[in-house]
Structure 1
Amino acid sequence: MNAAPVVSVAPVSLPAPDRGHDLDVRVSAPVIGTDLPVVLFSHGFGSSLRGYGPLTDSWAAHGFVVVQPTHLDSRALAVTSSASPWRSRADDLRRILDDLAVLVRAVPGLEDRVDTGRIGVAGHSFGGQTAGLLLGLRVSDPDGVPGPDLSDARVQVGVLLATAGRGGDSLAPGMIERMPWLNPTFEGLTTPTLVVVGDADRSPLTVRGPEWMTDPYRLSPGATDLLTVVGGEHSLGGVPGYEAAETTDEDPARVAVVQRLTGAYLRSALVPGDDAWARTRQSVDPALVRLESRVPERA
């Protein structure tokens, strides 16, 4: 569909007495359209519901209701970090799913235009691991014992952007002690998922270089496609925000292709009969991105 004007309401606060701070959420949607699917977006460490406009604005303009929480690790809250930030983040997303009707009603005129039975989840960096938990990713303890299965059957598709790979000997020295949650396993990630990486994303968390970020695709049975952004660093050209300070590889062309391909993947997964993914993947510029797929080309 063509881009439409977008309306956003923020913050919408969900009571969360067990959390220590109410869960603040932004809800964005196009001003036109019906049967709109929903995408939950989990921000990277330290960001908030006000980040990631280049992605979330684009998805909303092209027919999605986008829901963005502020997790407890956000710099906007100045809250002492949870001992298990990965678990509190997953709880945030599950709370949103439980209270989705409340959030939809916060946007005037949206309640009758949304289809809350069609849901995707996406995230960048630590937010990618968070989204992955609802898709079947599990976090193991430092001894390799898998943590709880937090997958959610209400979620039908995922997009993981610049998301950490496996732990163990892939991690830089001392990382597992500092960040014990940085030890994911992907065998249980069975929900259809697009993994997006940058081939110049050299994270200090790993000894393996940019290839580490491809683990969510290579090690999970559910990930169907791998999108590699040529020359992309951790910000993938600037997806964390307009003129965001953490962007080290600012490139509007990279952002545009990530917007277009992620939106197409979500549409084809959540809108019956939509062939956006098949059409869009045929027109990519190999100078900007590379695509790898495990499944036949699909509508």
Structure 2
Amino acid sequence: MSAFTTVISAQPVVLPAPNRGEDLQVHVSAPATGSDLPVIVFSHGFGWSMNGYAPLADHWAARGFVVVRPTHLDSRTLAIPHEDPRTPRIWRTRIEDLTRVLDGIDVLEAAVPGLGGRVGRGRIAVAGHSWGAQTASALLGARVLGPDGAPGEDMSDPRVGAGVLLALAGLGDDLTPFAVENLPFLRPSFDTMTAPALIVAGDHDQSHLSTRGPDWFTDPYTHSPGNKSLLTLFGAEHSLGGVPGYEVAETTDESPARVALIQQLSTAYLRSALLGEDSGWKAAVTALEADANPLGRLESK
């Protein structure tokens, strides 16, 4: 496939979700040409929706990926009040949303004009930012520790071959009192997150949920086994330069160059992990290493 192609999209595509209280709405973007297309299921950060994260979704779709963005129950577009009885388990519903997307690939394929028969079922990745990264990590094998410290349910999915985890929260050992009281699911274990993943962290990302510094966001790399890469972005805060979108409130560190690096490296990583196309990833790694004024550093294990 050429460097980029015309993108077709459809939204909202609705997947029935009888026990969720709201059917699942998703945005599907796909290249207008090509076959056996790899899939990226993307989980948004807190409050966002299927229409966020265009800097990533548009880039990936133009370079050969079918990108599916669901709207989770915490989305501001749904305006579900905090007192809603579903609130305590939204973190689980988010994970179930991603699984529901994988179960509904046939429906999604049929909903986008011209996409029928072109989706590669065996080439699936998950990605996400912030809370969305935690959501995606569960399908890669991460688990949530219970009150007794034992790992909770295994919600990994064998259909998922790789992941891109952006600003993913670290271990729950040093949470702020607010996080301890309100976010009991923020106690991850990465011991069983065995699937390949690119983890992206900002070295100026100081979370109000942890008493540790920005190195908290490198825990998923440090404490997970298997094939992992870590991109640490210099000067980046939680939006990593603007992955949710440019000129939005969450983008406190706007940097199109930083976003462009994430676009380039994540695309090359996923083409390597899902399609076995290693030359682009190797070239991107070499270019970053050779840069006299790099925007970040990359390490792999």
Whether these two folds match at TM > 0.5 is yes
Q: Is structure 2 residue 35 aligned with structure 1 residue 34? A: yes
What letter matches 1:233 in structure 2?
Answer: E
Q: Identify which range, 272-281 or 109-118, moves more after superposition.
A: 272-281
In the other structure, the counterpart of 1:297 is none
In the other structure, the counterpart of 1:70 is 71
Distance 1:8 1:243 in 2: 23
In the other structure, the counterpart of 2:108 is 103
Distance 1:142 1:52 in 2: 34
Distance 2:111 2:278 in 1: 28
Describe how 1:14-163 pairs up with structure 2 within 5 A. Answer: 14-79=15-80, 80=84, 82-163=87-168
Match for residue 180 of structure 1 among 168, 177, 184: 184
Give the C-alpha shift of residue 32 in structure 1.
1.8
Instruction: Pick closer, same or farther for the CA change 1:146–1:140 going to 2, 3 Å.
Output: same
What letter matches 2:17 in structure 1?
Answer: A
Give the C-alpha shift of residue 198 in structure 1.
0.4
Q: Is structure 2 residue 226 aligned with structure 1 residue 222? A: yes
Q: Identify which range, 156-165 or 265-274, moves more after superposition.
A: 265-274
Give the C-alpha shift of residue 7 in structure 1.
1.2
Describe how 1:198-213 pairs up with structure 2 within 5 A. Answer: 198-213=202-217
Describe how 1:240-255 pairs up with structure 2 within 5 A. Answer: 240-255=244-259
CA shift digits 1:81-116 (9 cap, x unpaired): 521222100100011111111101111111222212
Distance 2:271 2:147 in 1: 38
**Unaligned ranges ≥5, structure 2:** none
What letter matches 2:72 in structure 1?
Answer: H
Give the C-alpha shift of residue 142 in structure 1.
3.2
Q: How many residues align?
A: 293
**Unaligned ranges ≥5, structure 1:** 295-299
Q: Identify which range, 281-290 or 21-30, moves more after superposition.
A: 281-290
Distance 1:251 1:272 in 2: 30
Distance 1:145 1:270 in 2: 32
CA shift digits 1:265-286 (9 cap, x unpaired): 0111111344221111111235
> Is the 8 Å Cα contact of residues 246 and 254 (structure 2) preserved in structure 1?
no
RMSD (Å) for aligned C-alpha atoms: 1.2
Distance 1:293 1:273 in 2: 17
> Is the 8 Å Cα contact of residues 198 and 228 (structure 1) preserved in structure 2?
yes
Give the C-alpha shift of residue 287 in structure 1.
2.3
Give the C-alpha shift of residue 179 in structure 1.
0.6
Distance 1:3 1:256 in 2: 14
What letter matches 1:99 in structure 2?
Answer: G
TM-score by length of 2: 0.95
Indicate the SS of the match to 1:27: strand
